[in-house]
Structure 1
């Protein structure tokens, strides 16, 4: 596939309407329209944007015990999760078709094909024709995330072919898994999405390293969330009492294949980060370093990937 030299990308740093799938969907649809008005061709949303990344909530879990009140909060989260495929994905696909974009969005997924009641932290990829092209389920939820999300498998290590290059990525701290990153590089990713919930300054070191290591563009996308955005009728709302007013400060950014910022990190507000990316820089960067090409030593190191379910 011939690669178009330039592509306009939009990284959406925004907050969901927490625990409300339909209102968050409507917000996403409005933001997609705004991105289209800015001539974006690839639009990226944060990790677990629909219905929320449930930062600060325990769902009543303690080692050796659970509470019915916590189960009530979990049920609310579950009922606002996204069946894939389903009505929500149809509406997102239609929005992508109308805008003529590649849409990347993080959701908490109910995997209708697996026919279980486990939730997954998932990236969905839609094409400009409106089709759901692929998805990636987080392989290893981090810390207490394991109490609400199951583990994905190798069958969703996804890369999507676009006229601009191969589009794919990993979610949040999956990006600290060297072999997972290598799997993405082996698939030829040049537009690497990193939806995250990590607003720490050290996260910036991570995305700049990935850009340099993979000689790819990195589109890192986070939410901006304040405590007053949480519904106050949650059973465990009191757990937020000692949380800071800004629950997640953002830090979304775009980095080029030389590890330099195209758009520097944005904090403490909702914002759409726009950039025109020169895809020729991917090849220029690989002149002296191609981690799965001339800088590879498969005679010494080998990676075996199980892409079965």
Structure 2
């Protein structure tokens, strides 16, 4: 008999700029998912303390108040907020994939953590390249975060937001035989006037990932209420300028790219569930496996450097970090013309 894995995707509003409030809400959602039979719950990008919509709403010189609050309410990997979430994962015997703003000394990163059902951190990664205005607040990562890990549920990976439109980033993930993928997104539609950032385009990118990777994709999104938008008030005290209401598009795609969940209203909070049959991946890859039998390694290949990088090296690290060469691609000698 085929084993199925029950998973849940979050569609909810964070307690904006409030690490304590959002952590408490996180634990409630973990408990709800476990009660619903889920073995894995996926949270959106920068769920704690909410996606920084102020980056898209105001000039940089008007953001200082929000930036200070955002730093103060961001998560440290060894801090109390993460400890409480790990305890909730352990108490409910559930795998948690959570997006958060990570504070590391004076820098912030758009991070994700995979927490196992015993409360252990199985993977910690940071967004490789923050998108557009995000780069004024968040730092970049390196290739060590592009990793698919073995878990009792299957081979699990995660990316944030527009990492899902980076072809080479996606290919690096596909090449690791990913079976379950978490796609963390913010509240969608806040910049609806830009077609590339519309909910339709974003969901198309998410569905494409399922098709190309022949993997189950769990898309988790935030929503924003009118009350939440007023945390970032406009000049007249109304909602922040980019607010459009709602923004929730949580759903789960199968490895053939078909949607396998019922969509909730974009303004509704809750969880969407699906039962995953991993044997369907073999059927999908039999047709299309771009990093396997459908690859053309004689024509195109990806050079993937997954070594962690550090800003400061100690003497014993220098040779290994700087002088260790990447594996060289085989290059055919060019013909030499005779004279």
Mind listing any 5+ residue stretches in structure 2 that lack a counterpart? 190-198, 310-339
Structure 1 residue 237, shift from structure 2 partner: 8.6
Structure 1 residue 242, shift from structure 2 partner: 3.9
Greater fraction strand: 1
1:93–1:301 CA distance, 2 compared to 1 (3 A)? same
Count of matched residue pairs = 296
CA contact (8 A) 2:4 2:275 kept: yes
Per-residue Cα deviation, 1:139-193 (whole angstroms, up to 9, x for no partner): 1111111111111111211322112211102111110000000010111111011
2:169 corresponds in structure 1 to 180
1:217 corresponds in structure 2 to 216
Per-residue Cα deviation, 1:8-46 (whole angstroms, up to 9, x for no partner): 001011111000001100011011001110110010011
CA contact (8 A) 1:96 1:103 kept: yes
1:163 corresponds in structure 2 to 152
1:191–1:232 CA distance, 2 compared to 1 (3 A)? closer
Q: C-alpha separation between the residues in 2 aligned to 1:289 and 1:99?
A: 37
Identify which of 63, 75, 81 aligns with 1:82: 75
For the pair shown, the structure with the greater C-alpha radius of gyration is: 2
Matched, 1:95 2:84: no
1:217–1:150 CA distance, 2 compared to 1 (3 A)? same
CA contact (8 A) 1:160 1:167 kept: yes
Alignment of 1:143-292 (within 5 A): 143-197=132-186, 198-199=188-189, 200-230=199-229, 232=231, 238=237, 240-244=239-243, 246=245, 248-266=246-264, 267-292=266-291
Mind listing any 5+ residue stretches in structure 1 that lack a counterpart? none
TM-score (norm 1): 0.89
**CA RMSD, Structure 1 to Structure 2 (Å):** 2.1
Structure 1 stretch displaced more, 191-200 or 36-45: 191-200
SS at match of 1:182: helix
Q: C-alpha separation between the residues in 2 aligned to 1:209 and 1:60?
A: 32
TM-score (norm 2): 0.82
Q: C-alpha separation between the residues in 1 aligned to 2:235 and 2:83?
A: 33
